[in-house]
Structure 1
Amino acid sequence: MKSQDIRKQFLQFFESKGHLIVPSAPIVLKDDPTLMFNNSGMAQFKEYFLGNAEPKSKRIADTQKCLRVSGKHNDLEDVGFDTYHHTMFEMLGNWSFGDYFKKDAINWAWELLTEVYKIPKENLYVSVFEGNPEENVPFDQEAWDIWKELIDEDRIILGNKKDNFWEMGDQGPCGPCSEIHVDLRSEEEKATVSGKSLVNNDHPQVVEIWNNVFMEFNRKADGSLEKLPAQHVDTGMGFERLCMALQGKTSNYDTDVFSPLIEKVEQLTSLKYTSNEVATISEEQNKTNIAIRVIVDHVRAVAFAIADGQLPSNTGAGYVIRRILRRAVRYGFTFLNKKEPFIYELVAVLSNQMGEFFPEIKIQKQFIENVIKEEEQSFLRTIAAGLLILESLMQEVKIYQELSDKNVKPIISGKNAFDLYDTYGFPIDLTELIAKEKGFEIDLAGFYSEMQKQKTRSRAASEVSTEDWSVLIPGNVETFVGYDKTENEVKITRIRKVNSKKDGILYQIVLDNTPFYPEGGGQVGDTGILEWDSQSVLILDTKKENNLIMHLTHSLPDEDDLKGTFKAKVNEVARLKSSKNHSATHLMHLALRTILGKHVEQKGSLVNPNYLRFDFSHFSKVSDEEIKQVEDFVNQRIEEQLQLVEHRNIPIQQAMEQGAMALFGEKYGDSVRMIEFGDSKELCGGIHVKNTADIWHFKIISEGAVAAGIRRIEAITGDAVKDFYKNQENTLVELKEMLKNPQDILKSVVSLQDDNAKLKKQIEQLLREKAKNLKGELASELQEVNGIKFLAKQVDLNPEGAKDLAYELGNLGNNLFLVLATADENKPMLTCYISKELVASHNLNAGQVVRELGKYIQGGGGGQPFFATAGGKNVDGIKEALAKAVEFIK
């Protein structure tokens, strides 16, 4: 059975049981501050379990794209080394929100596996929660009794809290679970060792394929459990593992989920992947297998993350995606001998494989390929630079050995290895591999000590403790009235206290209704006040979490006032500025697609009161002429005074048929809000002006690249444009005064530039002549040290002049070791020249010399083995640096 058919059959089965089939949510989460990525099938349904929203159906089924590479669920380092862990995987799931419970969930799971998929019953084991007296949670007798009717009791296993009690996180809905495990070993192996003893023991062919979670409890902040008002079912079945079981394989990677990707890697590398079923595998072949598994797994994670709007970057979720891709590049570089980009070529295979069910991967294939290729090229350059630095570090150790005349063990310090990893992204195992080839060791204990220090600092900086909600009005469903109002009478329904290192103590307030817009869709959250009896508290920000709109404040009303009525007032000035920028963003999006082409897609945005930022797909710089055309296009729409046309709660299909733009990676419901300004039609939940004339004017202030194939425009509107032009006018006035009020200011500036260029040439000529004059003087000062002509001296030249002088002296002979220092404009610079013959015969390296001597001037640098420079901050260190130079040749 092909994987596409396995997926389809699962969904059809649960559709026949009255389940609504819903699409996968994006793999990247944008409205849940507790998670970076969708790491389980239930993540998109958290608000239903928490009772903050009503599900569209009490029975739902889907297949969810999941990513487990950070936080509590992190499988990254296991990927490749075994045959069943993955970064990105599909979770097949069925849910009941207060409808059916254990009996139906268990019976349907058994029916699907044994009667539809025809998995032999004798290959299956199930587990049941054994109970936990400490938390007053009893043995799951009900689940045991249900299973007893379906399977022999000797195939039912009691599981502890770790294996059979599932929790959403440190707080929130949780409950006992019942897992189903499949034994895929040969009959001979089964006869030797019982599969029951191998359950939950990391055996590659005895694996969990399905987990049925019975949500009964809520975990509170103090760790205690309370009963939920309704009982829910949350199940998850690993699609890749199910395919392994149904296709008769003993490895996920041998299934047709991965085999087309593996075949493409074999074609690109001329290396062969050996199936997990082969009895004996050489050490070299095993390394190849691991590398190929890493690559075919990681390309799926990276491609789907990019398709859902998360680009590789240096922070947050983007850093995680970059790290996954770099791990794949590193394995290709080290074990498959791939020194050029190649992983991007797997995207076409992935698109053909999964594009029918996940159309986002097919539609954005070209874009994903370009982003991955650019990232590969960048990291390969990083590896090349890291190799040079590592070579220098090893050279430094050798020099120290020679200078100290001691039998020092050749070791790269843990701090140096960590700097390579942290600053340059150079993987520790690659450092270890290369060092070992050269006879060096790595101080791994020191490396991991530095790593732990960094993690401790990071954890301390982001430490957050969250208390339970204090509910003042039970059962209230909050409503947002901010599209029509900026102030309204409200009541507080719940409060939660949060303490973080970053923000101190904050209170999150939820209201029965609110005019405050919560951060979302690129637009920042509203600020304002809660007012009562001539008193008020400041609302610092507004955010949304699990369908709750939370108003953040540093202080609360007195306890006696909490249950009273308040007036919620939005900061109208800030909101109006944000709305101008948001509406201008829509107009600019249309302008870019009209002027640059329909390939332009929004890839990120920020809308706040001060400016707007817009990231979009485009593979070349936007020219000055195109920038002007975009500005003119938007300003023309402003002058046309286009009225806002707003469609609330219309079916998404209707909106799409009317031409609305939907963004990849956004989670849309069945009903959406569509915003129209003339030909601009977008699905959007943000705040907008009533008429484009309210924007007043639009001005682009910058354009540039932020990632491969991604450009960024920053722009301003309204009062910010007025301030911009006022500042430009003031600058022009000051410039005219400085130039003595000429009639033609442009002509005066050109003349000034011409004069400056002429004077620069004259100065350069004078410095060259000065260097030539110094040549003879310094030639007489050369000393002989161990048969080498040596000089270390400070000269009154600029760095360019020092370079010319070094080459002039180098022409005098083949045996020169020279270090010159300059302090032009109080900026210390060291210049080292070593005759090429000395570099070869005495194993000297100018780059290493300046890196070592640069420490004395609080700086560093590098260059070629025969010529290198180092800049610094400490002029006073020049004297000591020059004094130490001779030690390299003593």
Structure 2
Amino acid sequence: MKSQDVRNKFLEFFKQKEHLIVPSSSMVVKNDPTLMFVNSGMAPFKEYFLGNAKPKHNRIADTQKCLRVSGKHNDLEEVGYDTYHHTLFEMLGNWSFGNYFKEEAIAWSWELLTEVYGIDKDILYVTVFEGSDDDDQLEMDKEAFGIWKKFIDEERILKGNKKDNFWEMGDQGPCGPCSEIHVDIRSKEEKQKVDGASLVNQDHPQVVEIWNLVFMQYNRKANGSLEALPNRHIDTGMGFERLCMVLQGVQSNYDTDVFTPLIREIETITNNSYGKSSDVDVAIRVISDHVRAVAFSIADGQLPSNTGAGYVIRRILRRAIRYGFTFLNQKEPFIYKLVDTLGKQMGEAFPEIKTQERLIENVIKEEEHSFLRTLDQGLLLLDKVIEDSTNKIIEGSKAFELYDTYGFPLDLTQLIAREKGYSVDEEGFSQGMQKQKERSRSASASETSDWIVIQDNQTEDFVGYDQLTAEVRLTRYRKVVSKKDGDQYQLVFNSTPFYPEGGGQVGDRGYIETANGGVVYITDTKKENNVIIHITKHLPQHLEQSFKAVVNEEFRRLSASNHTATHLLHQALRTILGTHVEQKGSLVKPKSLRFDFSHFSKVGDEQLQEIEDFVNARIRENLPLVEHRNIPMQKALDEGAIALFGEKYGDNVRTIRFGQSMELCGGTHVAQTGDIWYFKIKSESAIAAGIRRIEAITNIAVGDYFETVEKQFEAVKAVLKNANEPVKAVQNLQEENVELKKQIEALLKDKAKNLKTELKSELREINGIQFLAKKIDLDPASIKDLCFDLGHQHDNLFLLFGAENNGKALLSCYISKELVASKSLNAGVIVRELGKYIQGGGGGQPFFATAGGKNIEGIDSALKEVVNLISK
């Protein structure tokens, strides 16, 4: 059965069981500080399980893109070495929100697996929760055990511990026992030797879990106690790749048609064969897995970067690059070429991989170029580390520095070290890694208490579109103790005028006022799992009373000005650059805005001026805000509204229109574009391949900008002493500067010519080498010219010149090419060695290289040392 049919049969089965089939959510998580990426099928429905939102249907089924590479669920280092772990995987799932429970979930799973998919029940095992000796609240799941006995022999129902058969969302939150379904696909002979029951949950590659049925019936509190949920839920997840392995009769996920097209393409591109070498096979599996994770992350809006979720994606891609570099001998970018194959495979189920294909290719290719350069740099540094090692052991701290500073992986350091007869101090490396993790954990450590309920009111109204003050009541709060931010309180009200951070716009600030006039300041407003959270350093008194909530009016007004400007900027970019432009991110603050968009070349100065003029023209038109707060999604799209891919929209949406600009948006905006006053672009730059960034200002920030520019201009005129024609004065200075530079160059040439004549007489022969080491007074370019001029006139020439350049030491080494060949001399190696005398380093080609350093006094020592080197 083809993988596409496997997916379709699952969705069709649950559609017949009255489930609403929903598309996969974006893999990149927003508004949940506990997750970077969706790591399980239930993550997009978390707010429903927490009771913070109502699902559109009480029965849902889907296939969800998931990524497990960080935190508790981290499979990254296992990927490639076994046959069933992946970074990106599909999770087929069916969900009940307070509707059916164990009876139906178990019966339907058995029906689907054995009747629809036709899996032999004699190769299946199921597990149920056995209870927990260290937690007397948790008893054996006798209910599930009794239901399973209707479908499968009792000896195939295994009891599992808390680790395997009790599912928890985290340290706090909804949880419950679960039943796993495992499949034994070993050969008949292997089954006769070892009972499959003994291999369940033992990480055996052919006895694997394919489906987990979670019976969510408890809530775990911060103190560890459990309480029954008001409504019981079903949360299931079946590994799509593993299911395909079973149904296609193969022994590895990588032998299914989920991966074989990618593997064949890797074989073709790299001229390597899968199945002939262990190292090559691991590399091919790593690359075929990782390109999926990286491609879908980019399609969902997460670009590689040096922090947060972006760093995770960069790390995955770099792992793939180094496996190709080390084991497939790929020294040039090639992974980006796999995106076309991936699009053909998965574009029907996940159309975003096709619509974003060009962007994905460009980003991956640029990342490959960048990291391959880093690997080259790391190789040079590793050579230096090996040269400095005196006992054939590379210090762990040095190996960690290569990893931490330059991204050079430990296994590659070990591989190169072995080739040269060296080893690596792994314990020292591990100590460096552990210290780094401890620093990171310490910096971000926090402890969150349970919610303390003041009023049993789960409804929460946002009234901030219409008013900046409101009478509110506290419904619940909790305390967060953080090393980074200190003690804070998170407050939830029955209604609020405070806009929570979202859609690129920062959260509102302001204060709440108590009945007796006391004030508690709100320092930020965020949204977590559909709940608006107000952050403050202090807890108000008289919690049961009503409060007056007041938003900082200027903070909101300026944020709204910049948010509306991003909409007009988006319209301008699509009008002037083309409709291929798509928003890829934004940041809206009171003082500035940042807008990221897809475009494959630099935006020129004339185009930037045209874009700025376009936005300002819309501002002068004073276009009114036309807002629809509850319009059906499809109707909004039919009317021309722009939706941002990766954003989570409901069936009904809010649209914001200013003239011809119309977007789906939950942010705050000005009443008419004239309120923006003026729009000014400050910069345009690239942040990734195919992604550009414009930073701009509006409103009073523009006034401040013009005031600063005017002051600077007046200062320039004062310096030029030509207030009437400052431009002409600058042009005159430039012309004078050019003329003076020509005169200096002529003088330097004369100086070098005279010096060349002088230096010829100082050449001496050592071991058949025409040798000269001397400190001279020339700039770097003139020294290089002098070296090559002398080299053209003398054979077997070795030159080392030292010089002081802008307060720093410079060494330049020239070696005739015949000496490089006959005596194995290398200028790059020599200047790296001599660089220690000037407290610096350098490199270059075998016949010419330079080193720079901060110790000018060390030049004489370097010149003396090179005499010893040549004499030997």
What SS does the aligned partner of 1:663 have?
coil
Take 2:274 and 2:76, find their aligned partners in 1: how far apart are those partners? 21
Alignment match of 2:416 (pick from 422, 434, 442): 434
- 1:499-524 Cα offsets, whole Å, 9 max, x none, are 22322222222122111111111111
* Corresponding position: 1:543 with 2:526: yes
Structure 1 segment 635-646 matched on structure 2, within 5 A:
635-646=616-627
Report the Cα offset of residue 460 of structure 1. Answer: 2.1
* Corresponding position: 1:579 with 2:571: no
- The code of the aligned residue for 2:31 comes to D
- The code of the aligned residue for 1:576 comes to R
Alignment match of 2:720 (pick from 718, 723, 739): 739
What SS does the aligned partner of 1:133 have?
coil
Report the Cα offset of residue 698 of structure 1. Answer: 1.0
- 1:654-676 Cα offsets, whole Å, 9 max, x none, are 11111111111111111111111
**8 Å contact 2:682–2:697 — kept in the other structure?**
yes
Matched residue, 1:412: 394
Structure 1 segment 17-28 matched on structure 2, within 5 A:
17-28=17-28
Take 1:460 and 1:884, find their aligned partners in 2: how far apart are those partners? 48
* Corresponding position: 1:531 with 2:536: no
Take 2:762 and 2:398, find their aligned partners in 1: how far apart are those partners? 38
Matched residue, 2:735: 754
| Greater Cα shift, 73-82 or 441-450 | 441-450
* Corresponding position: 1:253 with 2:235: no
1:264/1:493 CA distance change after superposition, 3 Å: same
Matched residue, 2:331: 339
- The code of the aligned residue for 2:35 comes to L
Structure 1 segment 436-475 matched on structure 2, within 5 A:
436-475=418-457
Report the Cα offset of residue 477 of structure 1. Answer: 1.9
Matched residue, 1:383: 375
Report the Cα offset of residue 65 of structure 1. Answer: 0.4
Matched residue, 2:185: 184
Matched residue, 1:679: 660
- The code of the aligned residue for 2:841 comes to G
* Corresponding position: 1:846 with 2:827: yes
Matched residue, 2:697: 716
- 1:839-879 Cα offsets, whole Å, 9 max, x none, are 45555443344444445555433322333333344556556
Report the Cα offset of residue 151 of structure 1. Answer: 1.0
**8 Å contact 1:490–1:511 — kept in the other structure?**
yes
| Greater Cα shift, 250-259 or 88-97 | 250-259
Take 2:817 and 2:172, find their aligned partners in 1: how far apart are those partners? 66
Report the Cα offset of residue 457 of structure 1. Answer: 2.2
Report the Cα offset of residue 433 of structure 1. Answer: 2.3
Matched residue, 2:235: 234
Report the Cα offset of residue 494 of structure 1. Answer: 1.8
- The code of the aligned residue for 1:547 comes to N
- The code of the aligned residue for 1:661 comes to I
Report the Cα offset of residue 778 of structure 1. Answer: 5.8
What SS does the aligned partner of 1:256 have?
coil
Matched residue, 2:278: 286
Structure 1 segment 220-619 matched on structure 2, within 5 A:
220-274=221-275, 284-394=276-386, 396-397=387-388, 408-532=390-514, 533-558=516-541, 561-619=542-600
What SS does the aligned partner of 1:131 have?
coil
- 1:355-401 Cα offsets, whole Å, 9 max, x none, are 1121111212222222222222222333333333334444x24xx7x
- The code of the aligned residue for 2:441 comes to R
Take 1:270 and 1:775, find their aligned partners in 2: how far apart are those partners? 53
- The code of the aligned residue for 1:536 comes to V
What SS does the aligned partner of 1:530 have?
strand
What SS does the aligned partner of 1:135 have?
coil
Matched residue, 1:168: 169
- 1:581-620 Cα offsets, whole Å, 9 max, x none, are 1111111111111111111111111111111111111111
Take 1:809 and 1:162, find their aligned partners in 2: how far apart are those partners? 75
- The code of the aligned residue for 1:435 comes to A
- 1:501-548 Cα offsets, whole Å, 9 max, x none, are 322222222122111111111111111112223321221111111111
- 1:676-726 Cα offsets, whole Å, 9 max, x none, are 111111111111111011111111111111100111111111111122222
Report the Cα offset of residue 191 of structure 1. Answer: 2.1
| Greater Cα shift, 674-683 or 8-17 | 8-17
- The code of the aligned residue for 1:118 comes to G
**8 Å contact 1:305–1:311 — kept in the other structure?**
yes
Take 1:474 and 1:810, find their aligned partners in 2: how far apart are those partners? 88
What SS does the aligned partner of 2:292 have?
helix
**8 Å contact 1:803–1:831 — kept in the other structure?**
yes
- The code of the aligned residue for 1:288 comes to V
- The code of the aligned residue for 1:530 comes to I
Matched residue, 1:278: none
Report the Cα offset of residue 444 of structure 1. Answer: 2.9
- The code of the aligned residue for 1:701 comes to K
- The code of the aligned residue for 1:17 comes to K
What SS does the aligned partner of 1:725 have?
helix
Take 2:242 and 2:376, find their aligned partners in 1: how far apart are those partners? 38
**8 Å contact 2:457–2:494 — kept in the other structure?**
no
**8 Å contact 1:135–1:224 — kept in the other structure?**
no
What SS does the aligned partner of 1:234 have?
strand
Take 1:528 and 1:887, find their aligned partners in 2: how far apart are those partners? 73
* Corresponding position: 1:147 with 2:148: yes
**8 Å contact 1:392–1:848 — kept in the other structure?**
no
| Greater Cα shift, 617-626 or 169-178 | 169-178
* Corresponding position: 1:659 with 2:640: yes
**8 Å contact 1:700–1:714 — kept in the other structure?**
yes
Report the Cα offset of residue 332 of structure 1. Answer: 2.2
Report the Cα offset of residue 728 of structure 1. Answer: 1.9
- The code of the aligned residue for 1:462 comes to S
Take 1:543 and 1:823, find their aligned partners in 2: how far apart are those partners? 56
**8 Å contact 1:174–1:217 — kept in the other structure?**
yes
- The code of the aligned residue for 1:482 comes to G
What TM-score do you get using the length of structure 2 for normalisation? 0.95
Report the Cα offset of residue 785 of structure 1. Answer: 7.2
**8 Å contact 2:572–2:615 — kept in the other structure?**
yes
Report the Cα offset of residue 318 of structure 1. Answer: 1.3
Take 2:772 and 2:520, find their aligned partners in 1: how far apart are those partners? 71
What SS does the aligned partner of 2:646 have?
coil
Matched residue, 1:692: 673
What SS does the aligned partner of 2:586 have?
strand
Structure 1 segment 20-169 matched on structure 2, within 5 A:
20-136=20-136, 137-169=138-170
**8 Å contact 1:768–1:804 — kept in the other structure?**
no
**8 Å contact 1:604–1:614 — kept in the other structure?**
yes
- The code of the aligned residue for 1:637 comes to R
Matched residue, 1:404: none
| Greater Cα shift, 593-602 or 259-268 | 259-268
| Greater Cα shift, 612-621 or 805-814 | 805-814
1:811/1:89 CA distance change after superposition, 3 Å: same
What SS does the aligned partner of 1:134 have?
coil
1:791/1:499 CA distance change after superposition, 3 Å: farther
1:686/1:882 CA distance change after superposition, 3 Å: farther
Report the Cα offset of residue 752 of structure 1. Answer: 0.5
Give unmatched runs, 5+ long, in structure 1. Answer: 275-283, 401-407
1:213/1:780 CA distance change after superposition, 3 Å: same
What SS does the aligned partner of 2:687 have?
strand
Report the Cα offset of residue 794 of structure 1. Answer: 4.5
Take 1:351 and 1:461, find their aligned partners in 2: how far apart are those partners? 40
Give unmatched runs, 5+ long, in structure 2. Answer: none
Take 1:884 and 1:567, find their aligned partners in 2: how far apart are those partners? 79
What SS does the aligned partner of 1:615 have?
strand
Take 1:225 and 1:454, find their aligned partners in 2: how far apart are those partners? 35
**8 Å contact 1:53–1:477 — kept in the other structure?**
no
Structure 1 segment 810-849 matched on structure 2, within 5 A:
813=794, 818-840=799-821, 843-849=824-830
| Greater Cα shift, 139-148 or 344-353 | 344-353
| Greater Cα shift, 783-792 or 664-673 | 783-792
- 1:529-578 Cα offsets, whole Å, 9 max, x none, are 122233212211111111111111222224xx222222111111111111
**8 Å contact 1:742–1:748 — kept in the other structure?**
no
Take 2:826 and 2:434, find their aligned partners in 1: how far apart are those partners? 34
